[in-house]
Structures are given as structure tokens and as C-alpha cells.
Amino acid sequence: MKSELLEYLSAVVTPERLSLYNRIVESRTNYITVVLEDIFQPQNASAVLRTCDCFGIQNVHVIENRNQFQVDTEVSMGSSKGITLNTYNKKKDNSLKAIQKLKKDGYRIVATSPHSTEVELPDFDISKGKFALIFGSELPGISETINQEADEFLKIPMFGFTESFNISVSAAIILFHLTQKLRDSESIDWHLSEEEKLDIKIQWIRNSVKKSVLIEKRFWEEKGIDLQSKS
């Protein structure tokens, strides 16, 4: 049914845009996912989203404990419409909920923070399984919850007086290195499944087409399916 829905929605999209969607979706991955914990500066949040989109990261997980995640549209350049945002803001400790969900989905939890057992970026092993990269809040860094729950710690080698990079710079450096390593790998299947590709292309059309809700409603009506009973 999803393939039929995609075909139906595709009728209101130009062939050029459909071709773009088909090309980009082949480069998307969920083998790497990014988690942003309590980011409070819109420019940083937006820059990381833009970086994720550029390097083909499809899912980004946003944790809001104290700070609300806000996007600066001039910085993000519409990238938030291309990636899938998963927000955790309903619990007292949303960080724990996010980590539990990611671990259940089979992700290794990799905190980007100086730590006694950290691995330097060039030595990080991507072959051990898919992983979630955690970037902490601008000032305090990762929370104690993340520190306790992380499976591994990752560090960017630095040789100056400054102790750390800005979060958006860190994300760009790490994702460039690891996505390049992933795409060069001949043994890791990092591509999306066909089901995931369908879902994402439907999402992209919904995000780009005005009145997509009405168009989709008409599709279900033509199929004789009651949306209320379906939900």
C-alpha cells in the first residue's frame, strides 16, 4: 500500500524533483545516527542538521531536558525537511528514554567527549555495528546519564591550547571522517532498506507539497479506507 501511496503522491511532484529524491535516498543511511542532547543555541542546532543532511544521515534524535531545540532557518537551509527528527521531551529524564530506545534498536551508544577510555577518531571501529553519536550541550557537555549509559567514548585528536571544538565543528569533522570510512567499506551494508526508502520519499513529498494532507486523504478515500479507523 505504501508503494501505491508514493505513486499517487508522486503525480503532484515534478519529474526533476522525483529524480532528485531517488538519487539522494540511495545515499542515505541509518547505520550512523546523531543524538543532540540539550542544544540551546539555534545556530549550532541548525548547523548540525545541515551537516547531517550533507553527509547522508537520515535520522537525528533531539533530547530536550532543560533547553528547547530551535532551528535557525537561515543556517539550516531547509535541511530539517530532508532528515527525520525524533524528539524526546515528555519525561523527566529524556536522555535515558532516548538511549533505551536506541539500544533497543541495536545501536552502540558513542559519546563524543574526552574520557579515560575514549577512542580517537581515526581508530574508531565502524565495523562492530551501527552506532549513535551523542553530542552534548554547548557548555556542560554530555549529561551524567549519557556518561553512565554510553558504550564507547570518541575523541577528536587536538594539538592546540583549546580543549574542545564547537559542537557544530565537532559534528562536521566526525561525520565527514566516519561517513567517508563507511562508504569506502566493502563489507558493511549501510544502505536503507526498501521499506525505509519508501517511508522517506513519502515524508519528503509531504514536506514539500502544499495540501499534501488533502491529497493523501483523497487517496485513502479512493481506496475505501476510513482514516480514523486506520489510525
pLDDT mean across residues, the chain: 88
**Per the structure block, which three cell numbers stand in for 12?**
503532484
Q: How many CB atoms lie within 10 A of CB 56?
A: 22
Q: Could you name the CATH architecture of 28-184?
A: 3-Layer(aba) Sandwich (3.40)
Note the pLDDT of residue 80. Answer: 66
pLDDT at 208 over 90: no
Distance CA 169, CA 151 (A): 23
Q: State the helix-helix crossing angle for 2-10 and 212-222, rounded to 10 degrees.
A: 130
Residue 192 has what DSSP assignment? P
pTM attached to this predicted model? 0.89
**34-58 per-position pLDDT tens digit:** 999 988 788 888 899 999 999 999 9
Note the pLDDT of residue 38. Answer: 85
- Vertex 143 angle, CA 152 and 47, to 5°: 85
More confident residue, 167 or 30: 30
Q: What residue ranges do the domains of the chain occupy? A: 28-184
pLDDT at 177 over 60: yes
Cβ within 8 Å of residue 213, ≥6 positions away: 206
Note the pLDDT of residue 17. Answer: 94
More confident residue, 62 or 140: 62
More confident residue, 228 or 24: 24
Note the pLDDT of residue 142. Answer: 87
Region 203-223: mean pLDDT is 87
More confident residue, 47 or 29: 29
* Residues linked to residue 191 through DSSP beta bridges, in sequence order: 29
Distance CA 220, CA 199 (A): 16
Average the pLDDT over each of 62-66, 119-123, 131-135, 175-179 and give the range with the smallest value: 62-66
